[in-house]
Amino acid sequence: MTKNLQARAPWIVAAIVLVVLPLQLNSYWVGTITQWMPLAIAALGLNLLTGYNGQISVGHGALYGAGAYTTALLITNWRWGFLGAILGASVVCFFIGVLIGLPALRIKGLYLALVTLAVATLFPQILEMFSKTTGGSTGLSITSPQIYRGSLREKPVRFLPPEGSGLATDQWKYYFFLAITLVCFILVRNLVKSRFGRSLVAIRDNEVAAAVSGVNVASAKVITFGVSSALAGIGGGLAALANDQPRIASGSFTIETSLYFLVAVVVGGAASIIGPAIGAIAYGLFLNVLTPELPEDLKASTPLILGGLLIVLMLTEPGGIVGLWRRLSAAVRRKRHRHSDRAGHKKPETIVETTGGNQ
């Protein structure tokens, strides 16, 4: 029991920090952290697909966009609520993901990456094609009818905190985002630790082993593509609502968005639950904290610096930040062991779990 509590302590602390944070920070930071959450959810989805199942997608920016547009249209045109619209977006993106996942059964590795790259590249152009509905590059405001100076008008949607809660709009939005983010992370954690999760990793590492053990490889792969896309859709839906005056445009869902997710997964640590969140935060810190501090003439080369840091990280620790953390804590544990050995204790005969994925 105490061991259980000890293992969970960091999570409990993290949860408390996340809940208290918006009450302590100024509204700039509350807004900034709110914007990181959709990225973390999309990266979580991509990690399920790429990290755990071994299917590479460079097209999750498109699914993120599909989620954003579905949410926007459901709210503006169909008058759905926020939560309903985001769930709707996840369902739509699940089916789009299944559609991409079906041909993905026949192609693997680099070829799959190329196909998803095509999806990512085509997506902004599809938006332009249907610019009547999507607003094209001009964009689309997410509005709802609101009473304004005594009459009902279409105004940008707002996150109105429940009366008596004492929360500001941005704090309420933060909690709304946080709740969805936590639910997504908990669901994926359960999934990964289940029989389904084991079969995902088995498919990634050894398809024959999976099939012979009774795993329906094809259906598991397609479903994973769908679930991963649904998460990207939820992230996209939240991203659409993240700004004060929610507005989306085709320019926000380019190939670059897809690459952000991939970077977040790899930097945070592929095939770990918390990795994508850490990756998204690291990326956000880089953009929001480090970049403004850079001297003016270096700012233009931000992508170059980011790329350089990425290469250094991958060379020193392919497991990302989570991998680095595991390696360090294993080293600390070994050191403690050695100390207790010297003190005359017997070395326990259990095999300590080595680093590398799936926690």
Partner 1 sequence: MQRTEDLSLLEVNDIEVRFGGLIALGGLSFSLEEGGICSLIGPNGAGKTTLFNVVSRLYQPSSGSVTFAGRDLLALPAHKIASNGIARTFQNLALVPGLSVLDNVMIGAHPRTRGGVWAAASWFPLRSQETRTRTRALEVLERLDLDRFAAARCAGLPYGTLKRIELARSLMSDPRLLLLDEPASGLTHSEVDELASVITSIRDEFSMTVLLVEHHMGMVMSVSDSIVVMELGRKIAEGTPQEIQSNARVIAAYLGEPEEATS
Quote the least distance from Cβ 127 to partner 1, whole Å. Answer: 30
Query: Using CB under 8 A, which of the segments 4-12, 137-145, 182-190, 243-251 binds partner 1?
Result: 182-190
Alpha-carbon torsion, ordered 271, 272, 273, 274, to 10 deg? -130
Query: Using CB under 8 A, which of the segments 106-114, 144-152, 204-212, 317-325 binds partner 1?
Result: 204-212
| Cα 167 to Cα 173: distance, rounded to the nearest angstrom | 10
| Most distant CA atoms of the chain, gap in Å | 82
Residues 320-359 as x/- pattern, contact with partner 1 by CB under 8 A? -----------------------------xxxxxx-xxx-
Contact predicate 267/322, CB 8 Å? no
Q: Smallest Cα–Cα separation from 161: which of 175, 172, 170, 176?
A: 172
Tell me the CA distances in angstroms from 52 to 184, 193, 255, 325, one per residue in order.
16, 11, 22, 19
Enumerate residues 6+ apart whose C-beta is below 8 A from 300.
none
Residues in 261-290 that interact with partner 1 by CB under 8 A: 271
Task: Work out whether 101 is an interface residue with partner 1 (CB under 8 A).
Answer: no
Quote the least distance from Cβ 184 to partner 1, whole Å. Answer: 10
Quote the least distance from Cβ 332 to partner 1, whole Å. Answer: 18
Which position has the token pair 């053990």? 213
Task: Work out whether 206 is an interface residue with partner 1 (CB under 8 A).
Answer: yes
Quote the least distance from Cβ 62 to partner 1, whole Å. Answer: 22
Q: Binding partner 1 by CB under 8 A: which of 15, 16, 91, 187?
A: 187
- 238 residue type, one letter: L
Q: Binding partner 1 by CB under 8 A: which of 77, 131, 165, 194?
A: 194
Q: Smallest Cα–Cα separation from 22: which of 132, 159, 119, 198?
A: 159
Binding residues (CB under 8 A) for partner 1: these are 187-188, 190-191, 194-199, 201-202, 204-206, 208-217, 223, 227, 271, 349-354, 356-358
